[in-house]
Structure 1
Amino acid sequence: MTFTVRAPASSANLGPGFDSLGLSVPLYTTLRVTPQDVTEVVPLGPELENTPADESNYVYKAMLLAAKRAGQDLPPARIEIETEVPLARGLGSSAAALVAGVVAGNELLGRPLDDPAVLDVTAREEGHPDNVAPALFGGIVVATLDKLGTHYVRLDPPANLGVTVLVPDFELSTSKARAVLPREYSRADAVHALSHAALLAAALAGGRLDLLKHAMQDYIHQIWRAPLVPGLSDILDDAHKHGALGAALSGAGPTVLCFHDTREDTARLHTYLHGVMTKNGLTGRVMDFPIDTAGTVVTRG
C-alpha cells in the first residue's frame, strides 16, 4: 500500500543556539512511497529538476540509512519526491529530505526504529541536530549530539509567536557559510554564547517574548557570515524597531528569520525587509508563518 511522508522545513540556530536550537516551518518535503518489484526514484517539480532520478538521490540514500541502522535490506519501491522548501537558503532543505527519507525507509521496513533512533541516525548524518530535530518532532527543539546519543527537549511555541522569513533569490551553501567561521573563540565570546543561548531557551520555554531581541544576540556565527548576506547586519540591529521581536540568520543563510507577535500587523516589518533588499540590490520573498507543531507525518492510502 502507498504511504506518504511529509517533513517540514526548519530554521536553525535562532541566533546563539548554534547547532543546537531550531524550529519547524510549514513548508514541506513530501514522499509518496509505493512498494513494487523494482526501485524507482522520481523527483517532481521545479525545485528538484536537477536532482538525481536514481538511487544516488539523497532521499534514497537516507532511506538506506534507516535500513543500515535496522540491519535489514531495503525493499524496492517507487519513491516520488516533491518539495516546497527552497534549496540552499538556510531553511533545512537537506534536513527535510534526510528526515523524510529515513522515516520513509523505516516505514517501508515495518518501523523497526523508534523516534530516538531516527533522530540519532539523522543527527549523525547531518553532524548536528538543530535542523533534523524540529523537522522530525515539530515545534521548537533544543538538542545535543554526543558520543552517548542525541538528546532533546521539545517546546510548544509560546502563544502569539509567529515567524517572518526573508528568503533572498540567491543560494548560499552550508559549506561556504561554515568555511568563514573562526577555528577558535575567546572566553568572552564563549560566555556570551552560553549565556544568550540559555536565556533564549528559557525565554521560549517561558513565553517571555519581551526577551527575544536581547537573547538572540550572537557572536559565534552571524558576525562572520554577515559579509555573505548583504543587509543582514542592518536587520539584526534594527528589525526590532520595525515590529520584529528578534531577528537571526536562518541556519547558514541567506534566509533571515524574524519573530513577530501574531496579534500585531506585520506590514511595517515587511516594508522594512523589502527596503533592506532593495537597498542591497537583492530580490526575494517575505512570508509570515506559524511555527509547525506536527513535525514529520506519515499517512497511508
Structure 2
Amino acid sequence: MPPVGRSVHVRVPATSANLGPGFDTLGLALSLYDELDVTVSSTPGVRVEVHGVGEDGSVATDGSNLVAAVILDVLARKGAQVPGLDLVANNSIPHGRGLGSSGAAIVAGIMAARGLLDGLVELPSSELLAIATDFEGHPDNVAPALFGGLTIAWLEPTGPQYKKLNVHRGVSPVVFVPAHTVPTKLARSLQPANVPHEDAVFNVSRSALLIAALIQSPELLLAATEDKLHQNYRAAAMPDTDALVHLLRRAGFPAVVSGAGPSVLVLCERPADRLRAAELVAAEPGAEWRALMLAVDFKGATVVTRDLG
C-alpha cells in the first residue's frame, strides 16, 4: 500500500492523432502540458482541485473525475489501496478540441499510480500502454502522450504495440484552436463502414510518405499529409475547420484536422513558416482561431515521487 503522505508530480503532453492519412495509427506529442499533483491522504475519499482548463466546473472534483478513477483502477489492478487521495490538476490542454485531452487525463492517472507504487510494484511500459488503451479504446493518442515524439501504434492479439520515432528538428507545429468543440463520438460516427479501394491505397501511400517526411524529409509534408479516409467525411460536422484546412493547403501549408477536430494542425517545414501561417489565418474575415506555436515533445509523460521525511 502506498504510504500516507506520498506524493507524485505528473506532466503529460498534448497530442495530435491521425496527422492526415495515419488514421487511428499515427500520433505526435506536442509541447502543451497538463500537470498533476497527487498525495495519499489519511482522510477517506477523493478530492480534486482544478486550475486552468476545467476550473469552470466542467471537470468533476470527486471520485468520478477521470484522472482519479484511473488512479484507483490501476491501484486496484495491483492489489493496492489508499485511504484517500488529494489531487491538484493544472490543465492547459483544451477539452474537446482534438488535442488528446482525454488521453492525457488517462495517462496522467496511470503515471500517478505508477509513481504512487514506486518501489512497491513494477508497471512496465507495455502494461502502461495496455491499460491506457483499455480506457481510451485505441492507442493513437495515449502512445505519444506516454512516450513522446512520433508514434506508430497498432494492435496485436497480445495487446497494443507502439514504435517511437524521432522527428526531424526542422518540423515546427502550429495548432489553430477554435472556441467551439466537436464531440469525438460525433466525428467518429460520420465514418463509413467501408471505403473505396483506391482511397485505401491512396492513404497507405501517404502514410508511408508521412513517416519519411517527418523523420527525414520535411519538404514532402504537403503531399504526405493528404488524406481520403476520414477528413472529408467529417467536414459537415466542422465546416469552419474544413475551410481552414483547405485555405492553408492552397497556400502551401501542410494542414490537417488535429485528431477528431475541430482544431487544425499545421506541420511546418521550418519555424518561420508558422508565423506566415498564423498571419494568413488572422487575415481571414471573422477569424476566431487561437494560434499555438508548439514544439514536438520528445519525453512524453513524466512522474516524480516524493515521500514525507
- TM-score normalised by L of structure 1: 0.92
| Distance change (3 Å), C-alpha of 1:174 and 1:130 | same
Kindly report which structure 2 residues correspond to 1:147-226, keeping only aligned pairs within 5 A, or say none: 147-205=157-215, 207-226=216-235
Match for residue 27 of structure 2?
Answer: 22
Alignment counterpart, residue 7 of structure 1, candidates 12, 19, 25: 12
Question: Structure 2 counterpart of 1:222, which letter?
Answer: Q
**Contact 1:243–1:268 under 8 Å retained in 2:** no
| Distance change (3 Å), C-alpha of 1:186 and 1:75 | farther
Shift of 1:188: 1.4
Partner Cα separation in structure 1 for residue 60 and residue 72 of structure 2? 16
Partner Cα separation in structure 2 for residue 19 and residue 138 of structure 1? 17
Alignment counterpart, residue 260 of structure 1, candidates 257, 261, 268: 268
Shift of 1:67: 2.3
Q: Deviations over 1:199-220 (max 9, x none)?
A: 2123223x11121111111111
- TM-score normalised by L of structure 2: 0.89
**Contact 1:142–1:201 under 8 Å retained in 2:** no
Alignment counterpart, residue 289 of structure 1, candidates 264, 273, 294: 294
Partner Cα separation in structure 2 for residue 71 and residue 199 of structure 1? 45
Secondary structure in structure 2 of the residue aligned to 1:171: coil
Match for residue 43 of structure 1?
Answer: 49
Alignment counterpart, residue 54 of structure 1, candidates 62, 68, 82: 62
Secondary structure in structure 2 of the residue aligned to 1:266: helix
Question: Structure 1 counterpart of 2:299, which letter?
Answer: A
Q: Deviations over 1:101-142 (max 9, x none)?
A: 011112212352111110111012211111101111111111
After the TM superposition, which of the residue ranges 192-201 and 128-137 deviates more from structure 2? 192-201
Partner Cα separation in structure 1 for residue 238 and residue 281 of structure 2? 13
Match for residue 3 of structure 2?
Answer: none
| Distance change (3 Å), C-alpha of 1:300 and 1:220 | same
**Contact 2:50–2:61 under 8 Å retained in 1:** no
Match for residue 84 of structure 2?
Answer: 76
Secondary structure in structure 1 of the residue aligned to 2:272: coil
After the TM superposition, which of the residue ranges 40-49 and 87-96 deviates more from structure 2? 40-49
**Contact 1:41–1:55 under 8 Å retained in 2:** yes
Partner Cα separation in structure 1 for residue 305 and residue 123 of structure 2? 18
**Contact 1:2–1:32 under 8 Å retained in 2:** yes
Secondary structure in structure 1 of the residue aligned to 2:11: strand
**Contact 1:74–1:109 under 8 Å retained in 2:** no
After the TM superposition, which of the residue ranges 186-195 and 84-93 deviates more from structure 2? 186-195
After the TM superposition, which of the residue ranges 5-14 and 192-201 deviates more from structure 2? 192-201
Instruction: Tell me how large the CA RMSD over aligned residues is.
Output: 1.9
Partner Cα separation in structure 2 for residue 200 and residue 181 of structure 1? 22
Shift of 1:265: 4.7
Question: Structure 1 counterpart of 2:302, which letter?
Answer: V
Identity, % of aligned positions: 37
Question: Structure 1 counterpart of 2:27, which letter?
Answer: G
